[in-house]
Amino acid sequence: MRIRLVRHATLIVDYAGHTILVDPMLDEAGARPPIQDSPNPRNNPLVPLPVSAEEVVRNVEVVLVTHTHSDHWDSTAAKLLPKNLPLFGQPEDEAKFRSQGFTAVTPISKAAIWDGINITRTGGQHGTGEIGRAMAPVSGFVLSAQGEPVLYVAGDTIWCSEVEEALRQFHPKVAILNAGAAQFLQGGPITMTADDVITVCRSAPDTQVVAVHMEAINHCLLTRSDLAFQAEAARVSSQVKIPDDGEWVEGNS
């Protein structure tokens, strides 16, 4: 297993001999307005892709989408990806994918298998209270296959019982966490804060955490250096990788 952070939550995962694209956001920098009612109002994405969008989608064999907020599934992705590419997502998003012309859509309510790879859907909470309810539903995915380490892609969620349960149930070798502590002008964070990432580390000390979802969307206020500083202070920094855009992370190390 190898994982490349493309940008934000967009990942290329080489897994069991296959190339998987997760949460493609492929718009050019500044293509969209700021998130409504959010701090730091700048056009999104804040930064360009590290390689061209065409190069990101080249060789992709299957796509996983945790939910269809525009920082996880955007119009450039919908335009560039071949319409017959196998696409897995949560049941609530099936109609959207089909309306965009995708023909090989598999909604995962619990689990699915694609070419020897088990894909189990996990839950999450995209914020608390009214905001959390408005942002729902969101999903994460656990990947497993013969001879491969277990990978948990938590999706857009804060630390919550669903994440705790996924860690306990699947013992992932690697967990991709969407940090950034995204927030609106009102209410609490809707993605993981540094404290949330640290809590994951302490709950699953054998899991390598890879923190992404930072510095690419205007309302993600936690930066990579803030997170690195806080992970260091909490003495979990050896457990937390914080890749740059375009950087590969080896899943077996």
Which residues here bind Zn ion, judged by CB under 5 A? Answer: 71, 156
In whole angstroms, the minimum distance from the beta carbon of 192 to Zn ion comes to: 11
In whole angstroms, the minimum distance from the beta carbon of 38 to Zn ion comes to: 12
> How far, in Å, CA of 214 to CA of 197, rounded?
13
In whole angstroms, the minimum distance from the beta carbon of 158 to Zn ion comes to: 12
Q: Are 178 and 192 in contact (CB under 8 A)?
A: yes
Q: Which is nearer to Zn ion, 72 or 173 (CB)?
A: 72
Q: Which is nearer to Zn ion, 71 or 215 (CB)?
A: 71
Torsion of the alpha carbons at 180, 153, 62 and 78, rounded to the nearest 10: -30
In whole angstroms, the minimum distance from the beta carbon of 64 to Zn ion comes to: 14
Q: Which is nearer to Zn ion, 70 or 106 (CB)?
A: 70
In whole angstroms, the minimum distance from the beta carbon of 195 to Zn ion comes to: 18
In whole angstroms, the minimum distance from the beta carbon of 182 to Zn ion comes to: 6
Compute and round to an integer the Cα radius of gyration of the chain: 17
Q: Which is nearer to Zn ion, 156 or 162 (CB)?
A: 156
**What are the tokens at 88?**
């897995």
Q: Which is nearer to Zn ion, 16 or 176 (CB)?
A: 176
In whole angstroms, the minimum distance from the beta carbon of 114 to Zn ion comes to: 24
Q: Which is nearer to Zn ion, 23 or 148 (CB)?
A: 23
Query: Largest Cα–Cα distance of the chain, in whole Å?
Result: 48
Q: Which is nearer to Zn ion, 117 or 217 (CB)?
A: 217
Helices (H), 185-223: 194-203
**Beta-ladder partners of 114:** 117
> How far, in Å, CA of 151 to CA of 144, rounded?
7
> How far, in Å, CA of 41 to CA of 217, rounded?
10
Identify each DSSP E strand in the chain by its residue range.
2-7, 10-15, 18-22, 62-65, 87-89, 105-107, 111-114, 117-122, 140-144, 151-153, 174-178, 208-212, 240-241, 248-250
Q: Are 172 and 142 in contact (CB under 8 A)?
A: yes
